[in-house]
A and B are shown apart, each in its own frame.
Chain A
Amino acid sequence: MEHLKPDEATRTEADGESMFFNVPLAPDIPIYATTAAYKKDPNPNKLHLGVGVYRTEEGNSHMPNVVRQVEKTLANDPYADKEYLPITGIPEFNRLSAEIIFGSDSPAIKESRVTTVQCVAGSGALSLGAKFLAKYNHQHVVYLPEPTYGNHFNLLSGSGLALKTYRYYDPKTRGLDFQGLLEDLDSASVGSVVVFHACGHNPTGVDPTCQQWEQIRQLVRLRRLFPFFDCAYQGLVSGSLDADGQSIRMFVRDGGECIVAQSYSKIMGLYGERVGSLSIVCKTADTARRVESQLKLIIRPLYSNPPIHGAAIVTGILKDRNLYKEWTAELKAMSDRLVKVRHQLYNALCERGTPGDWNHIIRQVGMYSFTGLNEEQVGFLTKEYHIYMSSDGRINLGGLSSNAVPYLADAIHAAVTRIN
């Protein structure tokens, strides 16, 4: 088959402008800009407490042992192939993921009232869930807690839902504005979707207590609001998958419906493999079946079917009793380290007599702490101490090692005493 050489091709096109000449340069995404700045910084004491990635004590990226083990097994399996998964992903993965979230004894699972589909991590699950709700829920309004994970706005509004917020964080107490939360949800229209962080609220680390969750549940059911759980830290907060799953399970026990976006990014260190799931708990098995068929219609023109590798790793771990135990032990160790470093930081600030009440650092849970530092103080921390974090004062404790705690405490002390 002969072909024309490039210089033989005629330039039929006029020397016109690009068809995209007026596409504007997009602004930097803050969290990425922070990471880029950190990477450029040559200072040896620099700390990256920005993006939510769990690091070891030594400050290294963390790949759980069980993940490495299963990955090797998969690569050495002569029968493993790379055929397209079904649109909804690996069936076993979906089944096991539902059990992780809802508990293997969950009546909703037993009654086949849950449809679970493999997604492109938590982000993919959130946007898929949002697209589904935009298509089938009567109300196209979604309430987000104030504040919330930075990408929630994009993931949910990009899928066609209108956004509102409900009061959540109280800067005065650095805890939950429970009254405000109840008032705002109470005034939401029937059928509105409400996003709840299942545990380990991002960015504040402030979670409702069990009793508060129960009150929230009652209000949600009374006002017929639709709960949408973002579950990205199950097991990392208390060290127990079951304990961290309680908020969701409360809502399922009452027989009502909800949606759960699950991520394995942090809890299994699978970040870049993009592993997650979307579960929709329905009133009946027949509804769940129909809902699943409609989810497929949304997924197919998006990316056809999800990636094998990460989900195959998760499946390999969850279905093997020993690997599962090993994983939950590693999860507990990660969770313990987060708690330990919280206490270390709190103690260090107390020792220095740093002005203010720093109790919230040990009251808050999960990977993040909303320090209470303002933007100016954060800027000071970056400029003078080469500490990178979100401008809202959030630090990722997963990125803090014990031996960096004194340095961070010094920095916070300096920031607080010099800038008010």
Chain B
Amino acid sequence: MASVFASIVQAPEDPILGVTVAYNKDSSPIKLNLGVGAYRTEEGKPLVLNVVRKAEQLLVNDLSRVKEYLPILGLAEFNKLSAKLILGDDSPAIQENRVATAQCLSGTGSLRVGAEFLAKHYHERTIYIPLPTWGNHPKVFTMAGLSVKTYRYYDPTTRGLDFQGLLEDLGAAPAGAIVLLHACAHNPTGVDPTVEQWEQIRQLMRSKGLLPFFDSAYQGFASGSLDTDAQPVRMFVADGGECFIAQSYAKNMGLYGERVGALSIVCKAADVASRVESQLKLVIRPMYSNPPIHGASIAATILKNSDMYNEWKVELKAMADRIISMRKQLFDALTAKGTPGDWSHIIKQIGMFTFTGLNSDQVAFMTKEYHIYMTSDGRISMAGLSSSTVPHLADAIHAAVTRSC
């Protein structure tokens, strides 16, 4: 008897995660993985923050700790501290009990739960995502039952923001449509609106009743300051309006594989927030019942202890600073080589990624000849670079660009 699954086809590898799969298969000693956005030290090693190790030791050595199920919405303390982190300690929305927060499986899980909630309870089923955006965004939303449209975002000619295009496209969106906004350090381009541009975006969105859905995966990583990187979100909350926020601790606390994140829904009124919170439970329970305890406990331990919190801020700033330094080094190296083109976008773009402007042929060339792994859209993770590997990358880019001439 044939398999029930006889007609299933082999699915293609995930474009982003597939880069690491290919990298791992490469036996060359000089290979470089600039695919996944995971921070690496100068020595090219993954980093577990000291303060995370400390927190983990405290947890593991506390004999009174047990592993019982968390509530459906997760660790309450973690949720409160997460909301404060993104909205600010003094946020009126928090003080007025207008925020419903659920611990979720990192940023992806928070986005998915938020999308499932919207598909179930919101009258508009379309979400506008920036062009380009993180590779996994479209599927997260379509699998939840939303339909996806795009708004202009990246301008390849300036390698910066297509602000006019953005305003036009959002201006043409139907009232009430959901709009995905990268809170800071846009992935994959590294291009962020200025404060003034954010204010214009906010005014436009509020006037059209568009619902903001923030993806906040790099708070603290972009500028080195948690408060600065949260400004766009806080602007939208300060005007008294509503928004969704998907928060990830993968990068800024280095908790990647522990899957730590939170979904916050800022509502107009406390009564709405408590009803929304009750409905979030009904979205989460049929997915996986309740979230994992370990990572959220680490995060909560750090956030609630002022010494550890300060230690974390220092380590976070060090990571952000190293990335900014890599940007400068790469820019200087390409300038020194006289590589054709304007490479200033490398130092203008913000956060973990640089949208190099290289096309997929050039990327393929760099992988084949120089064993450099990156996504085919030309995105490189600066976090995967070190002072010793910058020259190799600069050589590769130079070769890729000049060979096309």
Contact = CB atoms under 8 A, between A and B. Distances in A.
Interface stretch (B165-173, B201-209, B314-322, B352-360): B201-209
Contacts of A298: 143
Interface in B108-138: 108-109, 112, 121-123, 136
Contact of B272 (A11, A18, A32, A157): A18
Interface in B199-221: 199, 202-203, 206-207, 209, 211
Determine the main DSSP class of A at the interface with B: loop
A377 interface: no
Contact of A155 (B72, B286, B290): B286
B258 A308 contact: yes
A18 B269 contact: yes
Nearest to B137: A301
B256 A84 contact: yes
Nearest to A86: B17
Contacts of A72: 60-61
Interface stretch (A23-31, A239-247, A388-396): A23-31
Interface stretch (B228-236, B305-313, B385-393): B228-236
Contacts of B223: 1
A172 B24 CA distance: 61
Nearest to A8: B238
Contacts of A63: 66-67
Interface residues of A, number: 93
Interface string A368-398: 0000000000000000000000000000000
B295 A301 contact: no
B297 to A, nearest CB: 9
Interface string B54-72: 0011001100001111111
B258 A83 contact: no
Contacts of A82: 46, 48, 52, 254-258
A3 B279 contact: no
Contacts of B278: 25-26
A80 to B, nearest CB: 8
B228 A3 contact: yes
B254 A274 contact: no
B372 to A, nearest CB: 20
Interface of A: 1-4, 6-7, 9-13, 16-21, 23-26, 29, 32, 51, 53, 60-63, 67, 71-72, 74-75, 80-87, 119-121, 123-124, 127, 136-138, 151, 154-155, 157-159, 191, 224, 226, 256-257, 265, 269-274, 280, 282-284, 287, 289-291, 293-294, 296-298, 300-310
Interface of B: 1-6, 8-11, 14, 17, 36, 38, 46-48, 52-53, 56-57, 60-61, 66-72, 92, 104-106, 108-109, 112, 121-123, 136, 139-140, 142-143, 176, 195, 199, 202-203, 206-207, 209, 211, 223, 228, 231, 234-235, 238-242, 250, 254-259, 265, 267-269, 272, 274-276, 278-279, 281-282, 285-295
